[in-house]
Amino acid sequence: MPHPAEKPNARSKLLDAALGVIRAKGYSATTVDELCAAAGVTKGAFFHHFRSKDDLAVAAADHWSQTTGALFAAAPYHDHADPLDRVLGYVAFRKALLQGGIPDFTCLVGTMVQEIYETAPAIRDACRRSITGHAETLEADIQAVINMRGLVPDWTAKSLALHTQAVLQGAFILAKAGGGAAAAADSIDHLHRYLALLLRPGAVSPSA
């Protein structure tokens, strides 16, 4: 007999709420009361699970990595046989995620780190782990393209994977500044073109 699905506890509810509320309001403007209201839990429950709002933010960054990691692990771009198609498919998948309102498609850790990079080192480090950890999932495919096409770049798969995240985070900033996804979509299209040119056989490094 199947067991009923386990109900989320207060901690899980708060972490899920944080993903939405912080992306909508920013970290500094988000209060513990708002997080509790969005999660449907008491303030006492909040402080049972987290010492402070900063403590929740660190956990939320890790929760974001786990949640988005599962999404990307199951994405269809992994099905391509050619690693270049997988890399370009990843970029196309990122564009396809530009759905709904700005808080729906922008990045939790990118939002937080822009606000607290000087004032909350623990949150900053959690955000860095999330961003670099996601970038690392692209490195093997980028390296496979380099190897298969006989490229001899003066850059590494790691640096290019991080560059993709720099473009995407910048695209989210443009979306916020412009009030919509159009500018972000344009930036992602440019990233797609850049990677297609950079990783083609016989490509010349931009610094050459």
**Share above pLDDT 70 across residues of the chain, in percent, rounded to a whole number:** 93
**Share above pLDDT 90 across residues of the chain, in percent, rounded to a whole number:** 92
203 or 86, higher pLDDT: 86
Question: How far apart are the C-alpha atoms of 80 and 39, rounded to whole Å?
Answer: 39
Q: Which helix (H) or strand (E) holds 111?
A: helix 108-116
Residue 30, in any domain of the structure: yes
- Residues 51-99 have pLDDT tens digits of 999 999 999 999 999 999 999 999 999 999 999 999 999 999 999 999 9
Q: Token match 């990677």: residue?
A: 195
pLDDT of 200 over the 90 cut: no
Residue 4, in any domain of the structure: no
Residue 123, in any domain of the structure: yes
Give the gyration radius of the chain's Cα atoms.
19
User: How deeply is 52 buried, as exposed, middle or buried, from its count of CB atoms within 10 A (0-12, 13-18, 19+)?
Assistant: exposed
Question: How far apart are the C-alpha atoms of 30 and 104, rounded to whole Å?
Answer: 16
Total count of domains within the chain:
1
Residue 181, in any domain of the structure: yes
pLDDT of 201 over the 90 cut: no
pLDDT of 186 over the 90 cut: yes
Other beta carbons within 10 angstroms of residue 50's beta carbon come to: 21
CATH at residue 133: 1.10.357.10
| HSE-up of residue 58 (Cα within 13 Å, Cβ side) | 12
Domain span including residue 48: 10-198
Residue 1, in any domain of the structure: no
- Residues 12-62 have pLDDT tens digits of 999 999 999 999 999 999 999 999 999 999 999 999 999 999 999 999 999
| 154 DSSP assignment | S
Least confident interval from 20-24, 132-136, 151-155, 203-207: 203-207
Identify the CA nearest to 180 among candidates 105, 114, 118: 105
Residue 203, in any domain of the structure: no
Collect all residues with Cβ–Cβ distance below 8 Å to 31 and sequence separation of at least 6.
Answer: 53
Give the CA distances from residue 48 to residues 14, 30, 42, in Å, rounded to whole numbers and listed in that order.
12, 19, 10
Residue 51: strand, helix, or coil: coil
Residue 62, in any domain of the structure: yes
Joined together, the tokens standing for residue 181 give 């996804």
Residue 135, in any domain of the structure: yes
Q: Which helix (H) or strand (E) holds 38?
A: helix 32-39
